[in-house]
């Protein structure tokens, strides 16, 4: 199954069954060109976004974690496949790492998105049974993004779209972005709403405490983003739109009952002009339009809670390579006491269905 002989990865002892493929659906990749652009734009002072400066100021630095991360993230070939083999991962769905091109100025973001997609296709074509890809877009130009979604789907064979949360502090519930939803819905291709650092408007109390990253700030921004998409009525306009969200739903499943309760009060009292009646309860959209992945959360209590609340057929496996790269996590997740059918759905079947693999 592998041609990854060049590994320096120590395999963990795998004792789990293999009557299903393990498909990991939130796996980060970036072309070296993008990291070079990040570096030069940071040095030139052209990117002032404080979250970006915190995140990539760190990962482009010369610490050991940073250099091993950048070395792994640009590679989509033998070394990555060796890491997958060592952990028992059959397929990675690769996506442009956060914040992708969304932090760049519009005119450089658009060609960079296209180039990244063309480069990703080369890796997927080289290892078609090990890699799939998602289409990166520049929401800075919503019509261009919609067109790139169609190109990614029709010409490049990609299985969905990656959007790394806000774009220059703007969120997709703004109607100017809805051509993106229209394209994704009409192609029946899912949008993976992946985290990035909180927008400039809200990052200060996070970053001063060192909490702007994956520890909490990512989820705060992305959970808010998803909730805005729901309450703005996007799913009444696009009832067949599919959104995939990582980290077991960026906390929204835990809030689900209270969100319904408070949303109903806000609708009834007309307290906010932004909160209008919806066709369904917020929780209904969370159970109809949203799918959930286990990225960063190889933890049985949370996995079982979310599966209970949103439905077992909506939760699928992700590994978050190379950020949270731990081969043992896969074995631990595979050891949770679910039936063979449930495990097959979690690791393979749900991803096949949602991403049309």
Catalytic residue list: 320
**Which range touches Mn ion (CB under 5 A), out of 18-26, 55-63, 67-75, 297-305?**
18-26
Provide, rounded to whole angstroms, the least separation between the CB of residue 106 and ligand 1DF: 21
Identify the bridge partners of residue 136 per DSSP, sorted by sequence position.
162
Q: Does residue 334 bind Mn ion (CB under 5 A)?
A: no
The answer to whether the beta carbons of residues 163 and 194 sit under 8 Å apart is yes
Task: For residue 97, give the DSSP letter.
Answer: P
**Which range touches ligand 1DF (CB under 6 A), out of 101-109, 134-142, 319-327, 348-356?**
319-327
Residue in the block written with tokens 């949303």: 263
Q: What DSSP string describes 326-355?
A: -HHHHHHHHTSS--HHHHHIIIIIHHHHHH
Task: For residue 167, give the DSSP letter.
Answer: B
Size of the site for ligand 1DF (CB under 6 A): 13
Beta carbon nearer to ligand 1DF, 216 or 254: 216
Residue in the block written with tokens 């949008």: 191
Q: Of residues 284-303, which lie at the interface with ligand 1DF (CB under 6 A)?
A: 295-296
Q: Which partner from the list Mn ion, ligand 1DF, none does 7 bind, CB cut-off 5 to 8 Å by kind?
A: none
Provide, rounded to whole angstroms, the least separation between the CB of residue 219 and ligand 1DF: 9
C-alpha span between 184 and 137 (Å, rounded): 12
Identify the CA nearest to 235 among candidates 172, 292, 305: 172
Beta carbon nearer to ligand 1DF, 50 or 195: 195
Q: Which residues touch 55 (CB under 8 Å, ≥6 apart)?
A: 98, 99, 196, 197, 212, 213
C-alpha span between 82 and 76 (Å, rounded): 11
Q: Does residue 137 bind ligand 1DF (CB under 6 A)?
A: no
Provide, rounded to whole angstroms, the least separation between the CB of residue 99 and ligand 1DF: 8
Q: Is the peptide bond before 322 cis (omega within 30 degrees of 0)?
A: yes
Q: Of residues 26-85, which lie at the interface with ligand 1DF (CB under 6 A)?
A: 28, 55
Q: Does residue 98 bind ligand 1DF (CB under 6 A)?
A: yes
Among 320, 329, 334, 348, interactor with Mn ion by CB under 5 A? 320
Beta carbon nearer to ligand 1DF, 96 or 310: 96
Identify the CA nearest to 225 among candidates 65, 102, 113: 102
Provide, rounded to whole angstroms, the least separation between the CB of residue 318 and Mn ion: 8
Report the interface residues with ligand 1DF, using CB under 6 A: 28, 55, 97-98, 195, 213-214, 246, 295-296, 320, 323-324
Report the interface residues with Mn ion, using CB under 5 A: 26, 320
């Amino acid at each position: 199954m592998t041609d990854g002989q060049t590994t320096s990865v120590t395999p963990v002892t795998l004792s789990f069954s293999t009557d299903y493929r393990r498909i990991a659906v939130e796996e980060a990749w970036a072309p070296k060109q993008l990291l070079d652009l990040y570096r030069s734009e940071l040095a030139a002072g052209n990117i002032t976004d404080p979250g970006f400066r915190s995140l990539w100021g760190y990962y482009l630095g010369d610490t050991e974690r940073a250099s091993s991360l950048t070395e792994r993230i640009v590679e989509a070939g033998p070394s990555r496949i060796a890491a997958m083999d060592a952990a028992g991962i059959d397929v990675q769905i690769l996506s442009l790492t956060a914040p992708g091109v969304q932090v760049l100025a519009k005119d450089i973001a658009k060609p960079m998105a296209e180039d990244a997609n063309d480069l990703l296709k080369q890796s997927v074509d080289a290892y078609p049974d090990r890699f799939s890809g998602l289409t990166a877009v520049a929401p800075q130009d919503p019509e261009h993004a919609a067109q790139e979604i169609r190109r990614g789907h029709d010409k490049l064979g990609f299985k969905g779209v990656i959007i790394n949360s806000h774009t220059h502090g703007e969120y997709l519930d703004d109607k100017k972005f809805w051509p993106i939803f229209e394209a994704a819905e009409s192609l029946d291709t899912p949008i993976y709403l992946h985290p990035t650092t909180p927008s400039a408007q809200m990052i200060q109390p996070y970053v001063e405490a060192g909490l702007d990253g994956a520890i909490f700030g990512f989820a705060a921004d992305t959970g808010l983003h998803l909730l805005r998409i729901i309450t703005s009525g996007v799913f009444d306009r696009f009832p067949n739109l599919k959104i995939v969200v990582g980290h077991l739903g960026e906390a929204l499943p835990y809030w689900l009952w209270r969100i319904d309760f408070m949303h109903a009060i806000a609708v009834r009292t007309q307290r906010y002009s932004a909160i209008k009646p919806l066709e369904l309860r917020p929780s209904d959209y969370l159970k109809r339009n949203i799918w959930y992945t286990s990225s960063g959360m190889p933890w049985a209590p949370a996995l079982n809670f979310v599966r209970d609340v949103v439905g077992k057929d909506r939760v699928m496996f992700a590994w978050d390579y190379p950020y949270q790269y731990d081969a043992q996590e896969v074995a631990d997740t595979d050891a949770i006491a679910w039936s063979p059918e449930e495990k097959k759905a979690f690791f393979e079947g749900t991803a096949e269905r949602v991403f049309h693999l």
